[in-house]
Amino acid sequence: MKNYLFCSLYYKKDIITGANKRFENFIYHFSKIISTNEKIIVVVKSGHIPIKLAELSNITFIEIPKFSFLDRFQSYIFLRRLFSKNKAMVVVSDFMPIPSRSLLGHNHYQLIHDIRNFTMYQRTSLLNSAHKIQEYQWKRAQNIMTVSNFTKSQIIKECAIEDKNIFVSYNGLDDIYYDKIPNNKRDIDITYIATFEKRKNHKFLIDALSHYSGKNDLNVLLIGKDLGLKDNIKKISNQLEKVKVRFEDSIDSEMQIIDIYDRTKLFVYPSLYEGFGMPLIEAISRNCKIICSDIPVFREIAADIPDYFNPNEPPIILTKKIERALIKYTQKSSSNMNFIDNFRWSHIAEKFYLHVKNQN
């Protein structure tokens, strides 16, 4: 009997993020394709068992307590003991530090969403050596799982990890994106969903909107958790004359996110760096018009569907694209079904399952 262990000690069941959605949906669909003599173990922090997975009979849950002192170190010790006492498993984990020695008997995949710590957009300026720690850890992993060919190429470049040891597994769309028919009520002119941080480039969008000279005032919705820049974006947004910007911290459910996409005429995505860019495929699936920055990962996952702009050019270039898109706006009659079929979680999970089988 083969066991598959999926571990994310960063997962929070009540927060909607790309990483959290991947954790839930990948495991859910993976549980549907494994054989009857195979089992899944899911390791999360205490109190964060995913609701979507809780009733599945072929999943065993292990909850790691939130330690009051040195939580990351004690979690590392817990995982090291867990891996050591179990027989050979396929392990997919995003936790660091990696308990490498106790994983020697397993087929381990270290999940990497992006390598922003190798760029100017590192998570914290207080730990400038973070990328060196990650490089050392990732080189010790048996295998790497990452979410795009762009990120794979960056891992090879920055960490000198061999191509054959990196498996690309795209992010996908929740089933309800396929089941719910887009509506025809488009009362939000522009939406952007992103955390408020430098790489998300909100200021470029606001600067572009400051040049807006269209006939009608614009209704703009910005959704995202504040990582330090939200107050500044609010301040400069208040100075816009023909644009009303509304801010939302978070979304309560996937259905609410879908409703927002369905109400949006134009999804603008000016990000400077992404490992994948899940809102891009979500917006495409709901028939939004798309304008996004011309970065390699967006070209990879969205091909020629969006209208691209160079984020290094003056913001007025984006302004003109926004004005043209809204002037010529017409409701699309059908979704990009052939395109979004590539992002079904069932296909993504099956691809990994076959990959593991072919390794044996």
| Domain ranges across the chain | 3-172+344-359, 176-341
- CA 196 vs. chain centroid, Å, equals 15
Beta bridge partners of 222: 192, 247
- The token pair at 250 is 């978070």
* C-alpha distances in Å from residue 243, one per residue of 37, 61, 110, 310, 344: 58, 48, 44, 23, 36
* C-alpha distances in Å from residue 342, one per residue of 121, 190, 196, 231: 29, 26, 29, 38
Judge contact between 90 and 2, C-beta under 8 A.
yes
Judge contact between 53 and 31, C-beta under 8 A.
yes
Phi and psi (nearest 5°) for 115? -125, 45
Judge contact between 201 and 311, C-beta under 8 A.
yes
Domain 176-341: give its CATH code: 3.40.50.2000
Distance CA 78, CA 73 (A): 9
- CA 9 vs. chain centroid, Å, equals 16
DSSP class of residue 125 equals: T
Fold: same for 3-172+344-359 and 176-341: yes
Please state the length of the chain. 360
pLDDT at 333: 46
Domain 3-172+344-359: give its CATH code: 3.40.50.2000
Query: What digits encode the pLDDT tens for the residues 162-179?
Result: 999 999 999 999 999 988
Q: Mind listing the pLDDT tens digit of every residue in the chain (360 residues)?
A: 689 999 999 999 988 899 999 999 999 999 999 999 999 999 999 999 999 999 999 999 999 999 888 999 999 999 999 999 998 999 999 999 999 999 999 999 999 999 999 998 876 655 567 788 899 999 999 999 999 999 999 999 999 999 999 999 999 999 999 887 777 689 999 999 999 999 999 999 999 999 999 889 999 999 999 999 999 999 999 999 999 999 999 888 999 999 999 999 999 999 999 999 999 999 999 999 999 999 999 999 999 999 999 999 999 999 999 999 998 766 554 556 678 888 999 999 999 999 999 886
Distance CA 186, CA 330 (A): 10
* C-alpha distances in Å from residue 314, one per residue of 178, 270, 292, 311, 317: 37, 13, 15, 8, 6
pLDDT at 112: 97
Which among 219, 339, 198 has a CA at the least distance from the CA of 282? 339
